[in-house]
Amino acid sequence: MSNNDSQLSLIFPPEILKMVEANEGDLPIEASDTFTRFLFFVATSTVKNSSPHTAKDIAVPSVSGPLEKFEFIPGYINYVPLDEDVAPKPVSSANSATNGPNVLSTILSSPVVDEFRQWQNKEAAEKVIADHLIGLQPEALELWTDVTSDATITNLAFQGMAAHLLVPVTGQGNVAFKVVLASLGEVPVRDGNERMGATAHFDADRNLLSIYVSNDDATYVPGDDLWEHAKWHFRSAVFAYVTIADHLSALHLCVSELTMESSREQLPADHPLRRLLKPHVYLAGQTQTTAIRALAPEGGIAHRLWPFTFEGLAKLLKQGAESQPFEPFPKWLEKSGLANLSDEKYPFATDGLALYEVCREYVENYLEIYFPGESIVSDAAVQAWWEQLATTVAGSGLGALQTRAQLVDLVAQIIFAVSGWHSHVGADTRYLADPSFVGAKVRAGSELADIQSTILIYSLNAVTGLYQPKLLDDFTHVYLKLHKEKAVEVFQQFQKSLIALGRDIDSRNESRSMPLRTFHPAVLDTAVSK
Ligand SMILES: [Fe+2]
């Protein structure tokens, strides 16, 4: 592969360029595709050189007060580069081969080009994935087989990545449920790509009936010539919307970032709530700063991976912030109209609710040690913390803090979100193992991820899959010395409840038509630190 027409030769010295080329081997990246080559190199180097993070890496808070914030989408999304879990870097390392600000700005400014080359066939894609890409990925939570079948769309909607987008329907013939992502069709895309967006309809027994495709403004049913393309549209729309709006924006840039900011700004370092939240905002500053500088900006990974214009991408990020991500899971479930479905139909609710309840019991018992009864409501720092969250777009549904139950619900939701919900919207290896499962871009005549998208998405998934502190690790070193014995007892009860939940999920999975491991405590991290 020649570097003659790549901007990489402007960025890297010859010795690094040699490493980039050796690393690529026979991976079919276009020599001129500077960004994809750079990202693949960063991903492989990161996976190779990173050591697992453990609970001991979670720093004990030592300072509080105003933080230096930078705006990304004014009024919606900001970030704080200074992370309390990371020692400040010496100036020299900030200019390393792949991290320096000049390198990043050069890479981001390289042209955004949709490379239309397709894999020769599925076997060719699978061979390259097996040889170069799958080894970089975190473990898949479940095995999804027969990924192009109608039944897989059902599983996506009732327990997979789209389960929170499912809505019950009445008065529309035999349609009993649907997943509506048709509005994605209003988001502009670059030339050569079909508009994204689709809505899937199911009957009362969860059978897939039809799919509306925004790009065609047409509805397809099984047997139609374009049925396979319609299903590809739907699966790809789910992957795009959930990853951009629900994972990147609502969870990382809102729940994690805003909780971290308000905790560090409003809660003194030795405040019991600050210590309770600390493991769950581990590395939040660094993670979100990296996301905003490399994943979310114009010319960044998301802009290139998906077909949306940057304005379209920003619109989706705003929608994520507006999706009320601080609303406690049980309240959301009640409002969804899906709360009364059986485990057989909607296993997503059974396991999600069980995890939320374990988190809530932990929060309630811990806070009771330091703030008996309703006393926490009159704590000035807690009120300021709540107020800061409530005055953001994402927290605008919180209202005023008037009862202890409100606070317990919110803190439980935060812990549930950064562990379980992150697994729901972010554990993507299970959807990527087969290139005919989901694609980032949809083009006429193809139901297979293209070469460029495959390499970009696998590289992104690799760097977001590094080993992080687990919910089942011991992170009690961040607790206060005050009442520590009692707090550790509460923590141990929390761990016992999590282990019992894992056993319950294992046993439920034995009788389910497809296992669900999204909310299994054995796979959950303490925070969205990746
Ligand atoms: Fe994530």
- pLDDT 10s digits, 162-212: 999 999 999 999 999 999 999 999 999 999 999 999 999 999 999 999 999
Q: Is residue 75 part of a domain?
A: yes
* Judgement on whether residues 206 and 306 belong to the same structural domain of the protein: no
Structure tokens, 409: 């619900």
Q: Separation of 309 CA from ligand 1 center, angstroms? A: 22
- List Cα–Cα distances, 443 to 189, 240, 476, in angstroms: 11, 15, 51
Domain boundary among 203, 234, 265: 234
What is the H or E stretch that residue 331 is in?
helix 329-336
Which pTM was predicted?
Answer: 0.95
* Judgement on whether residues 230 and 295 belong to the same structural domain of the protein: no
Q: Is residue 153 part of a domain?
A: yes
* Judgement on whether residues 64 and 199 belong to the same structural domain of the protein: no
Higher-pLDDT residue of 7 and 217 is 217
Q: Separation of 219 CA from ligand 1 center, angstroms? A: 33
Query: What are the start-end ranges of the E strands in 321-426?
Result: none
* Judgement on whether residues 100 and 166 belong to the same structural domain of the protein: no
Q: Separation of 98 CA from ligand 1 center, angstroms? A: 21
Cα distance between residue 117 and residue 446, in whole Å: 11
Q: What is the DSSP string of 172-190?
A: STT--EEEE-GGGGGS-B-
HSE of 142, CA atoms in CB hemisphere, 13 A:
22
Q: Separation of 288 CA from ligand 1 center, angstroms? A: 9
Q: Which domain holds residue 196?
A: 142-234
Cα distance between residue 526 and residue 530, in whole Å: 11
* 3-state percent breakdown (helix, strand, coil) of the chain, nearest 5: 55, 5, 40
Q: Separation of 257 CA from ligand 1 center, angstroms? A: 12
Q: Separation of 506 CA from ligand 1 center, angstroms? A: 25
Q: Separation of 232 CA from ligand 1 center, angstroms? A: 24
* Reported confidence tier of residue 6, pLDDT bands at 50, 70, 90: low
* Judgement on whether residues 315 and 178 belong to the same structural domain of the protein: no
Q: Is residue 212 part of a domain?
A: yes
Q: What is the pLDDT of residue 1?
A: 43
- As a whole number, the mean pLDDT across the chain is 93
Res 214 pLDDT > 90: yes
Q: Separation of 371 CA from ligand 1 center, angstroms? A: 33
Q: Is residue 228 part of a domain?
A: yes
Q: Is residue 244 part of a domain?
A: no
Of the ranges 48-62, 84-98, 258-272, 457-471, which is most confident? Answer: 258-272
Q: Separation of 5 CA from ligand 1 center, angstroms? A: 34
Cα distance between residue 360 and residue 411, in whole Å: 8
Q: What is the pLDDT of residue 5?
A: 52
Q: What's the pLDDT tens digit per position in 242-293? A: 999 999 999 999 999 999 999 999 999 999 999 999 999 999 999 999 999 9
Q: Separation of 465 CA from ligand 1 center, angstroms? A: 8
* Judgement on whether residues 443 and 300 belong to the same structural domain of the protein: yes
The percentage of residues in the chain with a pLDDT greater than 70, rounded to a whole number, is: 96
Q: Separation of 430 CA from ligand 1 center, angstroms? A: 15
Q: Separation of 218 CA from ligand 1 center, angstroms? A: 34
Q: Separation of 502 CA from ligand 1 center, angstroms? A: 22
pLDDT, mean of residues 451-480: 92
pLDDT, mean of residues 415-421: 98
Q: Separation of 461 CA from ligand 1 center, angstroms? A: 9
Nearby residues of 355 by Cβ (< 8 Å), 6 or more positions away: 416, 419, 420, 501, 519, 521, 524
Domain boundary among 202, 234, 266: 234
Q: Separation of 377 CA from ligand 1 center, angstroms? A: 32
* Judgement on whether residues 192 and 338 belong to the same structural domain of the protein: no
* Judgement on whether residues 219 and 343 belong to the same structural domain of the protein: no
pLDDT, mean of residues 306-326: 97
Q: Separation of 52 CA from ligand 1 center, angstroms? A: 16
* Judgement on whether residues 74 and 214 belong to the same structural domain of the protein: no
Structure tokens, 13: 């010295």
Per DSSP bridges, beta strands 166-168 and 198-202 are unpaired
Q: Separation of 314 CA from ligand 1 center, angstroms? A: 18
Facing residues of 308 across strands? 189
Q: Please check whether residue 38 is in contact with residue 17, taking contact to mean a CB–CB distance below 8 angstroms.
A: no
Residue 360's CATH number: 1.20.245.10
Q: What is the pLDDT of residue 31?
A: 85
Q: Separation of 296 CA from ligand 1 center, angstroms? A: 13
Cα distance between residue 521 and residue 471, in whole Å: 7
Res 487 pLDDT > 70: yes
pLDDT, mean of residues 295-301: 95
Radius of gyration over every alpha carbon of the chain, rounded to an integer in angstroms: 23
pLDDT, mean of residues 491-497: 98
Q: Please check whether residue 137 is in contact with residue 465, taking contact to mean a CB–CB distance below 8 angstroms.
A: yes
Q: Is residue 530 part of a domain?
A: no
Q: Any idea which of 44-48, 207-211, 336-340 has the lowest mean pLDDT? A: 44-48
* Judgement on whether residues 277 and 163 belong to the same structural domain of the protein: no
State the total domains in the chain.
2
Q: Any idea which of 47-51, 426-430, 477-481, 496-500 has the lowest mean pLDDT? A: 47-51
Q: Please check whether residue 315 is in contact with residue 321, taking contact to mean a CB–CB distance below 8 angstroms.
A: no
Q: Separation of 287 CA from ligand 1 center, angstroms? A: 9
* Reported confidence tier of residue 2, pLDDT bands at 50, 70, 90: very low
Q: What's the pLDDT tens digit per position in 139-150? A: 899 999 999 999
Structure tokens, 488: 């550790």
* Judgement on whether residues 425 and 289 belong to the same structural domain of the protein: yes
Q: Is residue 124 part of a domain?
A: no
* Judgement on whether residues 229 and 260 belong to the same structural domain of the protein: no
Q: Separation of 205 CA from ligand 1 center, angstroms? A: 33
Res 9 pLDDT > 90: no
Q: Separation of 413 CA from ligand 1 center, angstroms? A: 17
- Closest by CA to 194, choosing from 216, 220, 176, 161, is 216
Q: Is residue 3 part of a domain?
A: no
Q: What is the pLDDT of residue 84?
A: 95
Q: What is the pLDDT of residue 19?
A: 85
Q: What's the pLDDT tens digit per position in 55-81? A: 999 999 999 999 999 999 999 999 999
Q: What is the pLDDT of residue 166?
A: 98
Cα distance between residue 524 and residue 497, in whole Å: 14
Direct distance between the N- and C-terminal alpha carbons of the chain, in angstroms, rounded to an integer: 32
Domain boundary among 234, 262, 286: 234
Res 3 pLDDT > 50: no
Amino acid at 226: L
Q: Separation of 266 CA from ligand 1 center, angstroms? A: 25
